[in-house]
Chains A and B, each alone.
Chain A
Amino acid sequence: MITQLPILQVVIPLIAAPLMVLLRHGTAAWLLAVGVSWASLAIALGLLSEVAGGGLVSYALGSWPPPWGIEYRVDSVNAYLAVIVSMVAAVVVVYMRRSVAEEVPQEHHYLFYSMYALCLAGLLGIALTGDGFNMFVFFEISSLATYVLIALGRDRRALMAAYQYLIMGTIGATFFVIGVGLLYLMTGTLNLADMAARLPDVTDPRPVLAALAFITVGVSLKLALFPLHLWLPNAYAYAPSAVTAFLAATATKVSVYVLLRFYFSVFGETAVFRALPTGSILLALSLAAVFVASVVAIFQGNVKRMFAYSSVAQIGYITLGVSFDSATGLTAGIVHLFNHALTKGALFLLLGGIALRAAAMRFDDLRGMGRLMPLTSFGIVLGGLSLIGVPGTVGFVSKWYLVVAALEQGAWWIAFLVVAGSLLALAYVWRFVEAAYFHAPDPKMAAGPGEAPLSMLVPAWLMIAACVYFGLDTGLTLGGAGEAAQVLLKGKW
């Protein structure tokens, strides 16, 4: 059983998806989705404990030994990622019941959960597979499911958002597969570990460089690295609330992992960061992401869009950590992967509660929310504090490590820019505070129901509580991130 964990992680949600379609029943599909998500979490935790301390689990699909067959290769990096994804899934799926019932037509429910299961399967597949082409396929599985999920949003703009994401996402995935194809041509293998072993023997470096460029651009589109983020704000703003929370916490994070895997485990740190100015380019783009996206966020009229732009900025912090190419920097990036997944997931879950009453999510609709929905509003404030990086929240841990990483390299100006970015976060978070707490509620709204239902509040607050807990006890998150960084820097997979 233990040896089958890697494949079960992917196959369970993958099989559940068509089952849900056959069931044709919303509640049954939801129950199945809950079971699948919780099973995924259990499996991911099992895998993580299996590889803790530098272990490696290799699973040969269909018993075809690698490098000929497809291999699932799990180390502490992708086990950590699988835990993030399935943990968010396990929380969000509980929340989905009420939120989806409100936002998606009844006859589409079973399809919704089916797409959700596919998306989960895709994301977990990307995380675990050790095969380049298989990764592309999972990329597309998760992306196609995502396009559908976004298009199910109530606003008609959700359709355009899904379409734009489809175009951009397909271009990104195709760029990625072109890069993989070039590597395949040069090395004759698709197994990433095998590829890494053979790359040093390649005599002509030009196709390899082209592959690096294609993969970088393709994955950057997926992870919404500035300036390739244009699909993200609309997609997040108009998707159903539960979808936004799930995607914001997982999809971009998985793409960051792919970038890390290719940079450190396939091409190798020396080729990417020492021989090429990748670090400087990534640094410049990350800082631009932090500042441009944060400033744009401040001027948004729609709360969901504001936090979507904030996501672009926070992704900038993650890639900033990567760009330092040091143990501390990588640790900062990876721990922020986790921390931001928690924070943004929680924030979008809470916003989903508000969406029940103010569908348009404009700042004017938030008047008096502090009084109407005190728990939801206070949760959003706490999540906002984590975005700012106030001590006692997870955001502070990330920021501390980023600044240490910058100072280690003597780049004190980067340290200042990192903390200055927090000020912009303060500005946009405070817009919510002032809207929610400094106005009397609209009488129309005040007559409506009060807090969001418990089945939505509890999961959201669970994540907010985790934001604070992991801000004070970082043994698990920082330990995992540190180990992942060590494994990545070692280079061998």
Chain B
Amino acid sequence: MVTGATAIILALAVPSVGAALIACAHRAPNLRETVTLVTATILFAVVASIAPEVLAGARPQARLLEVMPGLEIAFTVEPLGMLFALVATSLWIVTSLYSIGYMRGNHESHQTRYYACFALSLASAVGIAFAGNLFTLFLFYEALTLITYPLVTHHGTDEARRAGRLYIGMLVGTSIVFLLVAIIWTWTVAGTIEFEAGGILRGKTSNTTIGGLLALYIFGIGKAAVMPIHRWLPAAMVAPTPVSALLHAVAVVKAGVFTVVKVVVYVFGVDAIAGLKSVDWLPFIAGFTIIAASIVALRSDNLKRRLAYSTISQLSYVVFAAALLTPLSVMGAALHIAAHAFGKITLFFAAGSIYTAAHKTQVSELDGIGRRMPWTMGAFAVGSLSMIGLPPAVGFVSKWYILSGAMASEQWGAVAVLVAGTLLSAGYLLPIVYRAFFVRAAAAGAAHEAHGEAPLSIVVALSVSALATVALFLFPDTLLALSRQLAGTG
């Protein structure tokens, strides 16, 4: 049994070493993919081995080195980080399986670079999850942006290059101009940037400064895709679908909202800023993003674009929940990070599966596809339920807590936003399921329609993630325990 500190270092080292091995094995695709799968499995085992300690209330720590006086690369595993790491690493296994089918099925080039960058981005995501202070978090946050750039621009086309520009420009731009200044400002005001339960800014500065800092953080964390810093996410959809699935539904965007929740809980302190006039604008921004992104999703015919805007909307649920500043809603925010991850990855898997098998990208082309691809569209339906927040999917659990938080603090406007968001998400997802299963395909060229299910590894992957979505609804104990610890209600 490894101790917490060793496990943290291992969790960073395993995917990095994996990436190196993947690069070495570039001549033997089968070996390379085996390395990826083995690395993913070991990583998950290592991360999961820390979980019991955290659930028992311990906070394992590891300190690497002091970069500047007072600035350390240090790691502390707390409940929220544990949750994020568990979600990201468990889904990496599934995604690796899926990648094999997808990359081979679509004859993609540069597969070694793809798998190596993927492993490194997981290392960055784990670094973000376990970061013990803002500096470490920022370090891995930037690393994640840079290491995913080759994945986003994988195809090397002009379109990919333009999307890559938007991606790197918006993410690095906001993080340097707003987030970095916010971190340094926090440092000069609070004298520390270590995460501490209850917040480090409590009583250190004026309410106006708190408001200004919060704005810098919210708009500096571009990965959270709060409008108007959301354009990079639809642009990033030029990437191969597994990238969109794991990175732009789980690792990257969740790193964003994770950072938002982490900053609200551990830098500002939930009860320290609850009711402050200078921070009451945040729910409006997040609420606006929920509604506006849903409306855009409703009007998009391109399936991946629709899912991307759905992601923007769902991410803002997390920000919104955190912004309500009640223990229950913070719990809901943490839960929603996990819930949305499982649901959305299933939806992306399905989209990629359709593309691989049928080469279709538009919603309007999907009439009757459910009959030829029952597993894919079945999983899609489960994912949709989770997005909307209906049982028996895990999305129901998180929405329940967010709503309870809003109701308990009698924020009726917030309740209205949540209800409207739910209706809208039903509006943009259910018609797809309906089309797939209940609309008969228009008689088109038989050759064009002659396809069955996607390759086996794709089907297995998306079935597993759909199953997990349901399983987490039935057995949400670990999730609940972790998020309770975070909100301090356990």
A and B: direct contact (Cβ < 8 Å)?
yes
User: Chain A interface (Cβ within 8 Å of chain B)?
Assistant: 385, 388-392, 397, 399-400, 403-404, 407-408, 412, 415-416, 419-420, 422-423, 426-427, 430, 434, 437-438, 471-474, 478
Residues of B within 8 A of A415 (CB): 181, 184-185
Residues of B within 8 A of A390 (CB): 142, 146, 172
Does B188 touch A at the CB level, under 8 Å? yes
A474 near B169 with CB under 8 A, answer: no
B165 near A423 with CB under 8 A, answer: no
Residues of A within 8 A of B156 (CB): 437-438
Residues of A within 8 A of B181 (CB): 403, 412, 415-416, 419
B142 near A397 with CB under 8 A, answer: no
A400 near B184 with CB under 8 A, answer: yes
Does B353 touch A at the CB level, under 8 Å? no
A404 near B67 with CB under 8 A, answer: no
Q: Give the distance to chain B from A364, nearest Cβ to Cβ, in Å.
A: 16
* Pick from B68, B153, B177: contact of A416, CB under 8 Å: B177
Q: Which residue of A lies closest to B161 (CB)?
A: A438
A438 near B173 with CB under 8 A, answer: no
Q: Give the distance to chain B from A397, nearest Cβ to Cβ, in Å.
A: 6
Residues of B within 8 A of A392 (CB): 139, 142-143
A403 near B184 with CB under 8 A, answer: yes
Secondary structure at the B interface, as helix, strand, loop or mixed, is helix
Residues of A within 8 A of B180 (CB): 399-400, 403, 419
With A407-B185, A419-B176, A419-B177 known to touch, is A426 a contact of B168 (CB < 8 Å)?
yes
B184 near A430 with CB under 8 A, answer: no
With A423-B177, A434-B161 known to touch, is A404 a contact of B138 (CB < 8 Å)?
no
Does B65 touch A at the CB level, under 8 Å? yes
User: Which among B65, B67, B71, B176 has the highest number of chain A CB atoms within 10 Å?
Assistant: B176
Distance, CA A437 to CA B73, complexed state (A): 32
Report the interface size class on chain B: 20 to 34
18 residue pairs from A and B, CB less than 8 Å apart: A390-B146, A391-B135, A392-B142, A400-B68, A403-B184, A404-B184, A407-B188, A415-B181, A415-B185, A419-B177, A423-B173, A426-B176, A427-B169, A430-B168, A430-B169, A438-B153, A471-B67, A478-B69
B146 near A478 with CB under 8 A, answer: no
Q: Give the distance to chain B from A317, nearest Cβ to Cβ, in Å.
A: 14
Does B288 touch A at the CB level, under 8 Å? no
With A391-B142, A415-B184 known to touch, is A426 a contact of B172 (CB < 8 Å)?
yes
Does B187 touch A at the CB level, under 8 Å? yes
| Closest 9 pairs (CB-CB, A-B) | A391-B139, A403-B184, A419-B177, A407-B188, A438-B161, A422-B176, A419-B176, A474-B68, A423-B173
Distance, CA A391 to CA B127, complexed state (A): 14
Q: Give the distance to chain A from B458, nearest Cβ to Cβ, in Å.
A: 29
Residues of A within 8 A of B187 (CB): 404
Distance, CA A139 to CA B233, complexed state (A): 54
B184 near A472 with CB under 8 A, answer: no
Q: Give the distance to chain A from B149, nearest Cβ to Cβ, in Å.
A: 8
Distance, CA A404 to CA B70, complexed state (A): 13
A420 near B184 with CB under 8 A, answer: no
B173 near A426 with CB under 8 A, answer: yes
Residues of A within 8 A of B65 (CB): 472-473
With A430-B168, A434-B161 known to touch, is A391 a contact of B138 (CB < 8 Å)?
yes
B177 near A420 with CB under 8 A, answer: yes
Residues of B within 8 A of A397 (CB): 67-68
Distance, CA A438 to CA B153, complexed state (A): 9
Distance, CA A405 to CA B142, complexed state (A): 23
A-contact 0/1 string along B183-194, CB 8 Å cutoff = 011011000000
Q: Which residue of B lies closest to A417 (CB)?
A: B177
* Pick from A385, A430, A472: contact of B67, CB under 8 Å: A472
Q: Which residue of B lies closest to A434 (CB)?
A: B161
